[in-house]
A and B are shown apart, each in its own frame.
Chain A
Amino acid sequence: MKFRVDWRASVSLVGSVVKWLSVPLLFPLLIAVYYGELNGLRTFVTTIAIALVVGWSLERIDPDPDLGAREGFLMVALTWFVVSIVGGLPYVIAGNQISFLGQFPFIHIVSGPSTLADPINALFESMSGFTTTGATVMGDISFETHSRALLMWRQLTQWLGGMGIVVLAVAILPELSVGGAQLMDAEAPGPGIQKLTPRIAETARALWKAYLGITALEIVLLYGLYLAGLAPGMTLYNAVGHGFTTMATGGFSPEARSVEAFSMWAQWVIVPFMIAAGTNFALFWHVLNGEPRKLIRDAEFRFYIGVLAVLSAVLTILIYTHQGLVFVPGGPPVAGNIESSIRHATFQLVSIVTTTGYASMDFNTWNSSAQYLLLAAMLIGGSAGSTGGAIKIVRWMVILKSFRRELFTTVHPEAIRPLRLGGRALDERAVRGIYAFSLLYLVIFLVSTLLLFLDAERAGGPNLNSLEALSAIAATLGNVGPGFQLLGPMNNYLPFSDASKLLMIMLMWIGRLEILPVLVLLTPAYWRS
């Protein structure tokens, strides 16, 4: 069989990306040095060595790669998979370290068996990181079990995956300049891309700069709260860690109790940053270029803010009136308390719609009316061009508008009504593409839920109810993170069998790349002429 795809070129460029992955890997290495964590040091030195060797060997497959349209899909899909494998190595290495170092004094030693020593768990955690899902299989999230370096790497994977590994590669690798638009299109959330500048590499750099800038701002504000004594838990380590995963709509936290561990002030600061993370980054670029009107006028942005406001209000009422709470957990009561009702409802809703997945309280204590509202919110997603996952606001807008049009043309069969978004008429092919994507998304969602049930039967556990199964799929396919009940925000995905975990790894992968770039690789037509 003759392949019509120059897979060597794709693999070679994946190699370049893996090679460059050694640069962000230096960050946890520095953390390990700073905290004197010898096992963290060993973990990351080993990983960097492997990344360099693997990257360099893959690069050698095609010394002068020439990327066509088809090779682009393969490169993007493979990049995410291979990077997740390499990024998962530290978990495996750290988890399998024999802590003979404990004999030495003055070395801070981390002991305790880790659930991530198992390769499938490590790949799950890594894929969940890079795809900014935030679903975890870390049994015990604490510095007793894991080094600070490793937990910071977990945060960093989300930050890298947020704006996109390939977008970052386009920004720094000159050989990707010409095919870059197509690569970014395959990776970027939402239909199509917007070139902001004549050169695609510059566009990629502009997006990353905006991303970096807003992340830095959040870190400064969070750490400022700590210095002002308003957020005792928000040390510099935590401020950096949460800055990484807020802007990426990731949701990992070095704290076992997620954002519940912090004061109300810290929670209020995180909310606008989650909202920003779910916004199209191109709009921030316009704002920085002195055109703030473009943000305010953007149809998708307005709809997005509207959805957040309306759903937050509904959820606030549910909680405030005690409708949505099964019981009031320990601590100050939420129901009947205006501020904390608004805060938890808004925080949770924004966290889910933007697909971040932080929890400001354990929403397992909420009843099914509130939980099903959140489950529905999992399918909404952020804006196109944001770091959010799921179906995306813009697609929902198009679908809603096309329903309206359908009703109108039933009455007036001869009417020609182009769909408009922000005053611009949409091409009918783009509309069809949006239908196809959204339907495919729902089909995959339902089929995967069925598979999850079947596998749970086969493996004799976990015993799932429908809310749990639906939320597991919605949370992984939509890159949200936590689900409900068994896999609620304070629990994890460990109960699932390996087969189910592999299914969810696959779902996170296709969910992040918006399905088509991965699925197209499975069609025979792709590989033949």
Chain B
Amino acid sequence: MRVIIVGAGEVGSSIAESLADNHEVVVVDQDGERVDSLTYSLDVLAIEGDGTSLDTLRDAGIEQADMIIASTDDDETNLVICGTAKTIDDPFTIARVKKVDYLDTWDHAEQGAFGVDFMVCTNLLTAMDIVRVIGLPAARDVDPFAGGEVQMAEFEVRAESPVADQTVRQADRFDSLTFAAIIRNGDVAIPRGETVIQADDKVVVIGSPESVQQFALEVAPDETPSADKELVIIGGSEIGFHTARLLENRDLRPRLIEQNQERARELAEDLPKTVVMASDATDAEFLAREHVDEADVVVAALENDEKNLLVSVLAKQLGAERAIAIVEDAEYVSLFEAVGIDVAVNPREVTAEEITRFTREERAENIALIENDRAEVLEIEIDADSVLTDRPIREAVSDLPNGVVIGAITREGAFVVPRGDTIVKEGDHVVMFVDTDVLNEVSAAI
């Protein structure tokens, strides 16, 4: 289909890159330099212009477009873009917003609002992502599938972990869990029974939330999340606030540190179960006094990357167990993780993933990207003419290229354990791990 993306920042470019292989993509941005660089780096049509104006949208071919994605850095602009697009034609509109209020408005309207057909809220998504990571302490990345019935998680295996140096067959002690991939030195490999898991590998597993939780215990037995966890959120940004709110919903009692008195007061009013403290989080003496050194998780949610890096490193230095930091600049993610921050969450990446999964072929409902697009996890609803339908998985897999793992199946909302002799039926949701190289081939067959 023809997709117009307005806003060629990190989110827009990343979506454009994911879609360029299979769709006709037009990117609109006001910054001429970005437009130039996209023209040469991706196989897309890049246009310089203001996406809120009719002329620009017509130039971009809105009449032929099936979908328009508004992913500029400004919420209101994105809403106006969608509204403007709807005045010309009726493409499917997706807007990226930061403010959760807009999402609430949109959710509360019968048919959506602002001419937006699908709204993605960066701040909420990021907060949810952080909460998931907190829930699975050893996990570096967690994505829900099939309405939460299935989870995909990526774990880093440390030397002291019980599964280190075991074969996959030994480590795979859980009924409803599949080892989808092992990432070693940036290479994605599909594990076999006799593959040995080494220290520092990253393991991607797909399974029911319970089994993933159990596996997490297995990988990192000494880190079980429970109500007596010490959770410290530094920074009362929108993301920090929603992280605290979601944690409260899980009966956890986080502490939140916010420098600005007035903002701290607002937060304290809205977060009954959270201890809000007004202080500068880079004050080491204050951190020591408040026993941040004993925290199990420190979330750095300040307004800029440098501060987040500083407070995370500081907290780790003092002795905090794990540090999760929000990184606005995707370039820094690997750097953050290199200096000892356990998980770096990039809101833009989270948003781009969410939008990309929405724009995939209709049946692929959900998607997560592994190791910067080296592989993808897809959730697909099986129809009658799929290669999987009404036959045992063992048979079907022989018709698929290498680099595919069937991770989990849900049937009518219930989890089905995929085994070699499991027969897939029409209407099942299959969560599968696919190497990017064979993605198109697999999408076509299923």
Q: Is the CB of B42 within 8 A of A178?
A: yes
Contact of A199 among B24, B32, B39 (CB under 8 A): B24
Q: Which of B2, B32, B44 is the most central at the interface, judged by chain A CB atoms within 10 Å of its CB?
A: B44
Question: Chain B residues near A185 (CB, 8 Å)?
Answer: 40
Report the bound CA distance from A180 to B39 in whole Å: 10
Contact with B along A373-404 (1 / 0, CB 8 A): 00000000000000000000000000000000
Q: Which of B2, B25, B42 is the most central at the interface, judged by chain A CB atoms within 10 Å of its CB?
A: B42
With both chains docked as a complex, state the minimum distance between the C-beta of B344 and any C-beta of chain A, in angstroms.
Answer: 28
Q: Please give me the residue from chain B that is nearest to A72 by CB atom.
A: B40
Q: Is the CB of B40 within 8 A of A177?
A: no
Question: Chain A residues near B25 (CB, 8 Å)?
Answer: 198
Report the bound CA distance from A177 to B41 in whole Å: 10
Q: Is the CB of A195 within 8 A of B46?
A: yes
Contact with A along B18-56 (1 / 0, CB 8 A): 000000111000001000000111111110000000000
Q: Is the CB of B39 within 8 A of A195?
A: yes
Q: Is the CB of B40 within 8 A of A181?
A: yes
8 Å CB contacts to B: which residues of A159-189?
177-178, 180-182, 185
Q: Is the CB of A198 within 8 A of B26?
A: yes
Report the bound CA distance from A182 to B42 in whole Å: 10
With both chains docked as a complex, state the minimum distance between the C-beta of B22 and any C-beta of chain A, in angstroms.
Answer: 11
- Interface: A197 (CB within 8 A): yes
Q: Is the CB of A198 within 8 A of B40?
A: no
Q: Please give me the residue from chain B that is nearest to A427 by CB atom.
A: B32
Question: Chain B residues near A181 (CB, 8 Å)?
Answer: 39-40, 43
Interface size on B, residues (CB 8 A): 13
With both chains docked as a complex, state the minimum distance between the C-beta of B199 and any C-beta of chain A, in angstroms.
Answer: 32
Report the bound CA distance from A177 to B40 in whole Å: 10
Question: Chain A residues near B2 (CB, 8 Å)?
Answer: 198
- Interface: A200 (CB within 8 A): yes
Q: Is the CB of B43 within 8 A of A199?
A: yes
Given A181-B39, A182-B40, A185-B40, does the pair A197, B45 have CB atoms closer than 8 Å? yes
Contact with B along A188-202 (1 / 0, CB 8 A): 000001011111110
Question: Chain B residues near A177 (CB, 8 Å)?
Answer: 43
Question: Chain B residues near A69 (CB, 8 Å)?
Answer: 40
With both chains docked as a complex, state the minimum distance between the C-beta of A114 and any C-beta of chain B, in angstroms.
Answer: 44
Question: Chain A residues near B40 (CB, 8 Å)?
Answer: 69, 181-182, 185
With both chains docked as a complex, state the minimum distance between the C-beta of B356 and any C-beta of chain A, in angstroms.
Answer: 17
Question: Chain B residues near A200 (CB, 8 Å)?
Answer: 43
Q: Please give me the residue from chain B that is nearest to A201 by CB atom.
A: B43
Question: Chain A residues near B45 (CB, 8 Å)?
Answer: 195-198
Question: Chain B residues near A195 (CB, 8 Å)?
Answer: 39, 45-46
Question: Chain A residues near B32 (CB, 8 Å)?
Answer: 427
Contact with A along B177-218 (1 / 0, CB 8 A): 000000000000000000000000000000000000000000
Report the bound CA distance from A48 to B46 in whole Å: 40
With both chains docked as a complex, state the minimum distance between the C-beta of B4 and any C-beta of chain A, in angstroms.
Answer: 10
Q: Please give me the residue from chain A that is nearest to B27 by CB atom.
A: A198
Question: Chain B residues near A178 (CB, 8 Å)?
Answer: 41-43
Report the bound CA distance from A398 to B134 in whole Å: 60
8 Å CB contacts to A: which residues of B102-140?
none
| 18 sampled A-B residue pairs with Cβ under 8 A | A69-B40, A178-B42, A181-B40, A185-B40, A195-B39, A195-B46, A196-B45, A197-B24, A198-B2, A198-B24, A198-B43, A198-B44, A198-B45, A199-B24, A199-B43, A200-B43, A201-B43, A427-B32
Q: Given A185-B40, A195-B45, A197-B24, output 16 extra A-B contacts at Cβ < 8 Å.
A: A177-B43, A178-B41, A178-B42, A181-B39, A181-B43, A193-B39, A195-B46, A197-B45, A198-B24, A198-B25, A198-B26, A198-B43, A198-B45, A199-B24, A199-B43, A201-B43
Q: Which 9 A-B pairs have the closest CB atoms?
A: A198-B24, A198-B45, A182-B40, A195-B45, A177-B43, A181-B40, A178-B43, A198-B25, A181-B39
